[in-house]
Chains A and B, each alone.
Chain A
């Protein structure tokens, strides 16, 4: 159980010590092995979660499936590596995974210091607190003196410290490595509050013994732009992952869905034509085929479809689009022009 962590750290050290870094030509490596190796969370419903047959689903998973669809025309040409918050960056640095798609917050220091590149945002989130209803707490500003459970080594941990310091309140952090351990500790009453991204609170709440006994407080104490990460230095691979995400967002904007993508092939709209590859060379520019985006939409769907299927109001998480709506509907989701 803990051995993976040492294995990853050991592998990173060994690879850095004895070989050249697998920096360039990730695409060639991926083609040679026939699948994309994707680092995901250890189980966060809506983002990346395995079912009883070990089939992964979630919006983070969909991004990896979309990359696989673009390269192999097969959304199942992905293998998943579940990673804890602590293991994730080392696993990517050491080449154990090709993409880290694991509700990871884009921060300046991570982008510059860890040999990583953040390529986009697939979920705009913010950190919140969950408490037991019977505590009678209605605001995060009433948490002075509380014990708070959270994951160690995350931005969550730092934001929590900043929040309590900024508001001159005392608190006791109780830090666990695995999300499940945090949930179990909070559920048993070891902590008064549980803090993580609000999407995470919605997802973990389902795992509590009595979800209705708990309430998420209204305050959002941080910005948490979550998105996929690749190794620094392989620009082609970074481009592929970035434009895969943009293709999904652009498809939603243009109204192209997994159901109508066939019919849309004959659309006269030049934007749709370029996206689906009947005009221009967007796919070839990435080192792929020109129907790359059509494959993504056909196999995985557009961003809106992925959102509604995994975290939207109709799912158990029940998260409204909010900041994650398209820019044209007042949200932050904005694909760079596909031309």
Chain B
């Protein structure tokens, strides 16, 4: 509520006199006064709520405070990114759960972006069949509630996979699939392994330098250099060279059936797959529409101009249309990323051990400290959503039209 003041109005000029009454009638002062009043009342009401809650909790014999975070958790978690045991604390269980939430969200955001752009461009194809297929995909998936889609993948699709003893074997010894999940071979590090990630980082730096150099050269001489291919060569080639130089410093660990299930290798649980599939496919339908809208927002004259300059269709799309479309696409895209992240909490309905299931579910129930636990969960979702917005807004600013 900003009120513009009349600096040159009657009573404000020098020698107008009656300073006290003019202060009362000054819109600026009054605006400040009322804003101050609102602020004070918000603070006071908030303080009353907190005091009342604390008093009532004490009266009801409810434990309060955040000391419980250091207590031993005592429960197991299905699938963790970092080592976790029953002797870990509730606070550590929180970190474990948060990482699982971030993992599925991060992979989901990358996959859904790729799929969304792909479907969105398909939707605009001049090929009738391709465009129709994209249309059916979008209209089907974005009109079915997400929770239903999670249940569909989990209960209807993945539940029909065979038991561990009748596992479906992927050819060439690449792994097995059964109702407990997907089991793949994983490399076991041996001495000299660290050369490989070093090679990868050097490849990244090299590719970045190469791209800058080729851009400058193109600006200076007009000559093009295949920087994308050469860069990829560096990123892949250097780690491979490093591996060969170190004498292939890893062995493959293959999953084998031992006792109840496959042991060894790398495994993905079906709950993760179901959640990731549902989140990705659902959000991609929305992103596809955003991409379509963004591309259609670019004036057709731009395409015609590019074509008349002799640019191929794919180059027109990549160099002329998409960069302009991004300015329209990115702001609503941020919302979709936030939705995907927040929707990951629906995994509490299946057994994927994320924040809402482990912390908002198990820990809340084992400790009974509903208010503290829910406050932490809300604060985490808020913080991470704001972080995603921040990063995307920085990106948005970098691609915004630079006005000269």
Q: Is B123 an interface residue (CB 8 A)?
A: no
Against A, the Cβ 8 Å flags (1 = close, 0 = not) of B70-89 are: 00001111100000001000
Q: Is the CB of B159 within 8 A of A188?
A: yes
Q: Is A220 an interface residue (CB 8 A)?
A: no
**Overall SS of chain A's interface:** mixed
8 Å CB interface, B349-403 against A: 349-351, 353, 357, 361-362, 364-368, 370-371, 374
* Interface segment, one of B28-36, B55-63, B136-144, B219-227: B55-63
Instruction: With CB as the reference atom, state the residue of chain A lying closest to B85.
Output: A165
Q: Is the CB of B75 within 8 A of A157?
A: yes
8 Å CB interface, A106-138 against B: 110, 113-116, 135
Q: Within 8 Å CB of A7, what residues of B?
A: none
In the complex, the 7 A-B pairs of residues with the closest C-beta atoms, listed nearest first: A153-B365, A114-B368, A115-B61, A173-B76, A232-B61, A115-B60, A115-B62
Q: Is B179 an interface residue (CB 8 A)?
A: yes
Q: Is the CB of A147 within 8 A of B370?
A: no
Q: Is the CB of A177 within 8 A of B270?
A: no
Against B, the Cβ 8 Å flags (1 = close, 0 = not) of A136-152 are: 00000000111100001
Q: Is A221 an interface residue (CB 8 A)?
A: no
From A21, A115, A189, name the one whose CB has the most chain B CB atoms within 10 angstroms: A189
Q: Is the CB of B62 within 8 A of A114?
A: yes
Q: Within 8 Å CB of B86, what residues of A?
A: 161-162, 165
Q: Within 8 Å CB of A265, what residues of B?
A: none
Q: Is the CB of A18 within 8 A of B260?
A: no
Q: Within 8 Å CB of A176, what residues of B?
A: 350-351
Instruction: With CB as the reference atom, state the residue of chain B lying closest to A10.
Output: B374
Q: Within 8 Å CB of A145, what residues of B?
A: 258-261, 263
Q: With A86-B361, A153-B362, A176-B351 in contact, is A16–B56 under 8 Å at CB?
A: yes
Q: Within 8 Å CB of B367, what residues of A?
A: 113
Instruction: With CB as the reference atom, state the residue of chain A lying closest to B367.
Output: A113
Q: Within 8 Å CB of B61, what residues of A?
A: 114-116, 232-233
Q: Is A260 an interface residue (CB 8 A)?
A: no
Q: Is the CB of A175 within 8 A of B179?
A: no
Q: Within 8 Å CB of A2, what residues of B?
A: 147, 348-349
CA distance A3 to B52 in the complex (A): 26
Total count of chain A residues near the partner, CB < 8 A: 53
Query: Can you offer 30 A-B residue contacts whose CB atoms are under 8 A?
Result: A2-B147, A13-B371, A16-B60, A16-B62, A17-B52, A18-B52, A19-B56, A86-B365, A89-B365, A93-B60, A93-B370, A114-B63, A114-B368, A115-B368, A145-B261, A152-B365, A153-B365, A157-B76, A158-B75, A158-B366, A160-B76, A162-B74, A164-B76, A175-B351, A176-B350, A188-B179, A189-B179, A190-B159, A190-B180, A233-B60
Q: Is the CB of B179 within 8 A of A173?
A: no
Q: Is the CB of B365 within 8 A of A190?
A: no
Q: Within 8 Å CB of A172, what residues of B?
A: 76, 78
Q: Is A192 an interface residue (CB 8 A)?
A: yes
Q: Within 8 Å CB of A153, what residues of B?
A: 361-362, 364-366
Q: Is the CB of B60 within 8 A of A190?
A: no
CA distance A223 to B371 in the complex (A): 30
Against A, the Cβ 8 Å flags (1 = close, 0 = not) of B152-165 are: 00010001000100
CA distance A12 to B371 in the complex (A): 8
State how many angstroms separate the Cβ of B268 from the closest Cβ of chain A.
13
State how many angstroms separate the Cβ of B154 from the closest Cβ of chain A.
9
Q: Within 8 Å CB of A184, what residues of B?
A: 155
Q: Is the CB of B60 within 8 A of A21?
A: yes
Q: Is the CB of A113 within 8 A of B63?
A: yes
Instruction: With CB as the reference atom, state the residue of chain B lying closest to A193.
Output: B260
Against A, the Cβ 8 Å flags (1 = close, 0 = not) of B184-217 are: 0000000000000000000000000000000000
From B59, B78, B365, name the one whose CB has the most chain A CB atoms within 10 angstroms: B365
